[in-house]
């Protein structure tokens, strides 16, 4: 989701967007406001002069790096100026897994604000701002879950306001903690998928290693067989029977020259065989 998409979901009845971001932070170009909604930049120093009531949305950037980001103390001052119906769009610069939602609860509840929406932002649209939320100063709970809905818009009595504070803390903490937990659950699923992929890769590597070992043994066996065959071929080619047969084939293929050479070849083979019978093995 983009920042303007989150904002436009909560522009019903809104006539002015007040940008109270610190100097140098340019959020206006990410809001995509229509002509019906006025844009007004006001530094925090002008807070006491502002009328922050119904129909007004305050936008600002919260985060851990001052003075670029507004801090929780400054946010509490702004929220205390809210009248019922005023809303705020808070861009959050903390990584989602490190969102200090417990620090935001007290300013929200003390000002009577309810979290209406919280969502992750598209990292390609607003770099370094992973999430944002929308809050509203309420007299009674706005619909969030069926069992948390409260009807009526009358100004609460002190006892009702105490009850509202309790319900606001429950609702706000639920919305923020669920958002943070959702990110952790998604991260856990990603890690589980990565672990499954790693296990599958390890299994495939083990299978390939087994196949490689098997192929290596087959290659060794084939090399031994080839060596034995070469020895057998060498012994066969050096045998008198093979050479005699080879001389006979040459004589048949070349009747003239082959017949003249055949007796001489056979005599040489006979003489070699005769000599080999009387040779004594060397010591």
Map out the domains of the chain as residue ranges: 3-188, 239-278
Q: Look at the block and give the residue holding tokens 């969102």.
A: 99
How confident is the model at residue 11, as a pLDDT?
Answer: 93
Q: Backbone dihedral region of 208: left (phi > 0), alpha (psi from -120 to 50 degrees) or beta?
A: alpha
**Residues paired with 88 in a beta bridge:** 58, 135
Token reading at 65: 């790096």
pTM metric for this prediction: 0.58
Rounded Cα gap, residues 233 and 8, in angstroms? 89
Rounded Cα gap, residues 200 and 72, in angstroms? 46
Of residues 148 and 63, the one with the higher pLDDT is: 63
Question: Could you give the 3-state DSSP secondary structure of residue 100?
Answer: coil
Q: Which of 30-44, 98-112, 246-260 shows the lowest mean pLDDT across its residues? A: 246-260
Instruction: Determine whether 212 is exposed, middle or buried from the number of CB atoms within 10 Å of its CB (0-12, 13-18, 19+).
Output: exposed
Rounded Cα gap, residues 69 and 85, in angstroms? 25
Residue 154 confidence (pLDDT) above 70: no
Per 3-state DSSP, what percentage of the chain is helix, strand, and coil (rounded to 5)? 55, 15, 30
The CATH number of 3-188 is 3.40.50
């Amino acid at each position: 989701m983009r920042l303007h998409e989150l904002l436009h979901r909560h522009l019903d009845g809104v006539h002015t967007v007040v940008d109270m971001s610190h100097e140098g932070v340019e959020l206006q170009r990410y809001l995509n406001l229509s002509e019906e909604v006025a844009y007004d930049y006001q530094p925090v120093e002008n807070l006491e002069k502002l009328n922050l009531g119904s129909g007004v949305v305050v936008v600002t950037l919260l985060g851990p790096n001052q003075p670029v980001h507004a801090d929780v103390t400054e946010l509490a001052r702004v929220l205390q100026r809210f009248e019922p119906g005023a809303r705020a769009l808070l861009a959050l610069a903390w990584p989602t897994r490190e969102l200090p939602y417990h620090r935001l609860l007290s300013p929200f509840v003390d000002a009577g604000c309810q979290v209406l929406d919280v969502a992750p932002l598209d990292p390609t649209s607003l770099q370094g701002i992973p999430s944002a939320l929308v809050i509203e100063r309420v007299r009674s709970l706005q619909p969030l879950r069926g069992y948390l809905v409260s009807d009526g818009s009358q100004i609460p009595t002190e006892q009702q306001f105490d009850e509202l504070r309790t319900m606001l803390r429950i609702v706000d903490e639920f919305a923020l903690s669920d958002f943070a937990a959702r990110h952790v659950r998604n991260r856990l699923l990603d890690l589980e998928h990565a672990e499954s992929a790693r296990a599958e890769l390890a299994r495939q590597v083990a299978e390939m290693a087994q196949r490689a070992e098997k192929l290596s043994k087959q290659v060794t066996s084939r090399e031994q067989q080839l060596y034995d065959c070469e020895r057998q071929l060498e012994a066969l080619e050096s045998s008198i029977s093979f050479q005699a047969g080879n001389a006979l084939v040459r004589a048949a293929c070349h009747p003239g020259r082959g017949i003249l050479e055949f007796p001489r070849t056979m005599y040489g083979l006979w003489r070699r065989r005769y000599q080999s019978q009387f040779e004594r093995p060397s010591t």
